[in-house]
Structure 1
Amino acid sequence: MLAILYLIPLILGNQFYPLTGNGNIPTIEPYTLGQEIFMDCISRNIDNGEHKFDAQDRIIHIPFPVCKETGKPLAFQYGISEDRNCTINFNDELYHLFQLYVHEDAPFSCRIPVSTESHYLEKGGAYIPLTFNFRGEIHDSHLDIDQSMNVIFTKPSAQDPSQNSIISAIAYSSSTNVTRVVIGNDLTLNLAVRWLENSPVNSIGNKYGKLPFGDGFYSLPMNSIAISYSTMVLYFIIIGLASSAVTWAFSYNMISTKFSKRYQPLDQESIISKRD
């Protein structure tokens, strides 16, 4: 039965993902821990949410809105789980775009390159989609937006740094509160960024030749740990060292006390009484 499950991807004609713009398996320059990740998003018409195109009929991508905290468009750090804020200003265009996003008339679609090569996407490189799913309500005079978001990345296991890339990403509102926004307001996005790493299952084998990272289903574990395994190991080491230090200090005190009592010098009266 297990063998049949592993054959299903081959029977269905599955293929490796993502491919480059030319339909080829990508080669990558891997990310390093903490490296800033480039991200751009689809530029849309505020009237209907349709893509904007350039003179060559290619979809136009623009940076994520600028965060007031950094003065730069929102960017994430590879492999770093953290809580962070990004305050964006709702000018007229962004306000009307968020009307489309919240009403789900158009997705807030961004993309992340799988390789750190310079100008990689401009060369037709492969990328991973990242959609920001904002929820809330649209009113005649304002928007109600849930600005607290979980941002989850899945990456290959850190055991092989040459495979440091991104498998999938998603961002979604996840609180019980909304903030009222009108044109001209600032909105602070509360982002809980978490990186999950895993080894794939249901691999289709070496069907394609050399792959940039292991293929298969990068499923979430039953008990997900929202930190990278390398960070978890570091925490265990720190806890282990701290526990050892406390144990050593406690044991040393007990041993010293017992030693001093056992080998305590005899007083003069005891010596004299023995001589008598």
Structure 2
Amino acid sequence: MIDQLSSSDIANEVSMMRSAFKGTVLVVEGVSDSRLYGKFIDRENVRIIIAHSKNNVMQSVNLLRDKRKDNAVLGIIDRDMDALLGRKRSPPLFPTDKRDLESTILASPAFDAVMAEYGDNDKVRNFEKRHGPIRDCLVRAASPVGLLMFISYRKGMNLSFKDLDFTFFVNPHALTTDLSKLVAHVYSVSMGQRYQRGAVVDMLVDLIKDFGDSWDVTRGHDAVTVLKLALRTSLGAYNSKGLTDGELGGALRLAYSRGAFESTQLYRATWDWCRENGLKLWS
């Protein structure tokens, strides 16, 4: 049912609120976004609406402001592939600093706090002696999935990235990704393709050279999954053995501090825009 909600449905929900609430409405993509930003909003003067997709956020905010003249609405969206595609968003739509909310959190001190909670100090120390900082290895292992998505989009391949099994292509002991196995696994869950796997691997290698290992191209969900595998197999303390993606993502959100959030471009941009427009947003 949620998948069937349109931008008009979201806009109507906001409009119906207006008889009782005249404050700022922040429209976000999903439940995780609502939980995270809900930590920092001015609860008396701000309400969060979940739109259930990026397109719904963009279209509902534009509909409310342009057609219904509701100037107390703004939206926060994941940057996704916008940076790779040269797309720029303008207020009242504000993108995350990194590719998405989770990657922004992982690039912050929240990562260190979670590693202190779930990582085994000796295992982490030995790993970093051999392979370098865990955060760098994590983004290096997870970023190829995001870059393969970009190739799929650019080439019109329509590859499927739903419910990937990262154990097929990620080595959790070294935090490395086998590109050939990644492409093979994605092909195995996708419809027939006109590009040979080897050619796609070559495209992926070229993109990695161009963009490097960056949180700007790394999907946070992928990085969380890779980190979970590493904690459960080679880096974790006793309390990480049964750790799930949801639990790890929740721990990262809880560890994400106000100070970390206030250091982001997203915070500064939304704060400045709301102040210029006489709106309350962050507490």
TM-score, length basis structure 1: 0.21
TM-score, length basis structure 2: 0.21
**Which of the pair has the greater relative contact order for Cα pairs under 8 Å at 6+ separation?**
2
Q: Rg larger in 1 or in 2?
A: 1
Which of the pair is proportionally richer in helix? 2
